[in-house]
Structure 1
Amino acid sequence: MIAPDFWSIPDRKLTSTELAEKTTTLKQRLTEIASRFSDIRFATSLAAEDMVITDAIAQSKANIQLFTLATGRLHQETVDMTKTTENHYGISIAKVYPEESDIQAFIDQYGMNGFYDGEVAKKACCGARKIKPLNAALLGADAWLTGQRREQSTTRVELNFEELDDARGIAKFNPLFDWNESDIWTYIKQEDVPIHPLHLKGYPSIGCEPCTRQVKQGEDIRAGRWWWLQSDSKECGLHINK
């Protein structure tokens, strides 16, 4: 049997001049955000887009706090990547954990891996492990950042740099909204940004371990997220404003 040909990191396509322009714009965006708001928080998954933003925050010295959602079901590679990133940049990334009572309530109703049974159970798991912790992580903040890009999915094609997070009543920014996949990887290679090990194994998008798989060449880059659900929307609910 021939092994499947999985997604791989794309080749560099930007020229040095093009990358320099994009990098300058990204740092300007971060500096602008930091000048307008006093308590800004960045939710990092440690995947490629978020590593680009982390690197740009470090280079620009923008006053932006980093945190990650420690869901309890992450790949060990993701857990290790947090420490790798902290050591590389000399920073601290806050770990935000779900409430044990919320996890137990999900397990009591659906079972440990009940999210495989359908959209309702999947949303309930994401709610307990990601959305409620995100809400807690953003308490007191007046703005937050994401690594979302328009190119990533059909639900993000109209994504803007700045939007209002109606659900939390704060500003939300997507500094990489107009970057494509090649832009991301050209930056990472040029700036020697640490790479999540799963990106080297065919994972373009990385979430919780049981809900993420490798993606074959030619598949949508988010096809490996919640692959058992027949839906064009590959979202957990973190970015639904209302």
Structure 2
Amino acid sequence: MRRFLLLIVLALTGWIGIAAQTVQVRGKVTSAEDGTPLPGATVVVKGSTVGTTADIDGNYVLNVPSGTGTLVFSYVGMTTLEQEMGGRTTIDVALEPSATGLEEVVVTALGIRKSEKNLGYAATSVSSDDITASGSRNAMNALQGKVAGINISSASGQPGSSSRVLLRGFSSLGGNNQPLYVVDGVPISNRLIGDTDINEGMDFGNRANDINPEDIESITVLKGASGAALYGSRASNGVIIITTKKDLIRLEKELK
């Protein structure tokens, strides 16, 4: 019995010692320009793999191995900032806009953002302003003339009809030649809705047509095999990555 109690005491002592080595640091990451929160901002302990990301309100909570060290705050389009912890448990930061600008950053496979000049494959990004300026209510048709090597055609002349997109021509004579569509990191099926046997050839459009062009932040087209490698065989015809406006999610939460 004494040995059992001794083991319990030793176990508790060890657990308390481990817990004492971890300090919880929390805070908020905002923009220095207008004070808006930066959801998805990265917070990492310098020189380690310990890190986290800010939530939709810019708040973060990080369990740091010790109370001393340096936190590195980063966000796309913002200048990276380092802050000494110095025993603090609450660290709020405001990031300044980066001089490089957002126009040089594109969204690649799995939503990873990289500098366009560092890519080893063809990638074209179309901004929301370019999509809106086209005047088309179909986001895919708005890409015509803005992406090299892309061919867009309508399945019929009906309003809202399906759009067929080809990147660099046909890759298969009998299979599907359309690229893979990824919306906010989630691959979607863009198959044509229409059956000649049941609906007598009526075209009800495809899923990419359902996206409101005004809700789109940017569209990135990946045409190289290495750029689409992370998505597997489904991306053999290229990838069209659609990033929606995150501000809409924040606005919806504020209205609730």
- Normalised by the length of structure 2, the TM-score is 0.23
- Tell me: higher relative CO, structure 1 or 2? Use CA pairs within 8 A at least 6 residues apart: 1
Structure number with bigger Rg: 2
- In terms of fraction of residues, the more strand-rich structure is 2
